[in-house]
């Protein structure tokens, strides 16, 4: 009887361990380079590598094939969930409304690679434009970029073309944004050009400009 009880407990423990191994408590329902949409019982969230979702899921790595996450002290390697269906909801799209200043221009605070920045929205600029003075403040290693010449209001100026890892405005985040760093102190405000703006939805109603995150 004692031997049977030990055997039963061993089988039970193995079955429990197998269940815990085969069914992870977290799912991945969207995969991108360095980002993933994770789902647990408390809901879904789009997070990037190093971030933790409101439900407590930390993204360690991600690519188009799988994600590695940490949840409640355990690590899991997850491919895209095969249980994604009609119940999946896209994360709520971030948006921000911007009123014009007294000159009719749209200015907004944000960040570049986690450094604070003041932006002037400029649909006439093909890329984000930053002065070298501002770039140095933010720690951008712009001189590693491709050197070129740009036309400014003050005439031609040397510039360096770079890729910004992340540009954030309000709750809107855009990754891998092309920019030109212009030698000197101008522009005073960073010009938020089309290399950022074409990746968001823009709508102007009653003079108020609304930017909405695209997924």
**Residue ranges covered by each domain of the chain:** 23-91, 95-213
Structural element, H or E, at residue 17? helix 2-22
- How many whole angstroms separate alpha carbon 180 and alpha carbon 164? 10
Most confident of 32-36, 55-59, 170-174, 190-194: 190-194
Reply yes or no on domain 23-91 having CATH 2.30.30.830: yes
The chain-wide mean pLDDT, for the chain, equals 81
Say which residue, 151 or 18, is predicted with more confidence. Answer: 151
Classify domain 95-213 by CATH number.
Answer: 2.40.70.10
């Amino acid at each position: 009887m004692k031997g049977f009880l030990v055997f039963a407990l061993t089988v039970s423990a193995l079955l429990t361990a197998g269940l815990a191994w085969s069914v992870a408590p977290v799912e991945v329902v969207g995969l991108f380079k360095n980002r993933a949409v994770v789902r647990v019982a408390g809901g879904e969230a789009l997070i990037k590598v190093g971030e933790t979702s409101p439900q407590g899921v930390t993204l360690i790595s991600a690519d188009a094939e799988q994600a590695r996450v940490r949840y409640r002290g355990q690590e899991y390697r997850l491919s895209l969930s095969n249980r994604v269906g009609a119940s999946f909801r896209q994360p709520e799209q971030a948006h921000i409304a911007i009123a014009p200043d007294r000159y009719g221009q749209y200015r907004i605070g944000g960040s570049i690679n986690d450094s604070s920045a003041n932006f002037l929205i400029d649909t006439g600029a093909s890329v984000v434009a930053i002065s070298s003075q501002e770039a140095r403040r933010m720690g951008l290693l712009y001189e590693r970029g491709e050197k070129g010449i740009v036309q400014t209001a003050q005439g031609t100026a040397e510039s360096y073309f770079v890729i910004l890892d992340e540009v954030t405005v309000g709750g809107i985040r855009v990754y891998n944004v092309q920019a030109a760093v212009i030698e000197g102190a101008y522009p005073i405000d960073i010009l938020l050009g089309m290399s950022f703006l074409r990746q968001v939805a823009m709508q102007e109603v009653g003079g108020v400009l609304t930017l909405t995150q695209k997924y």
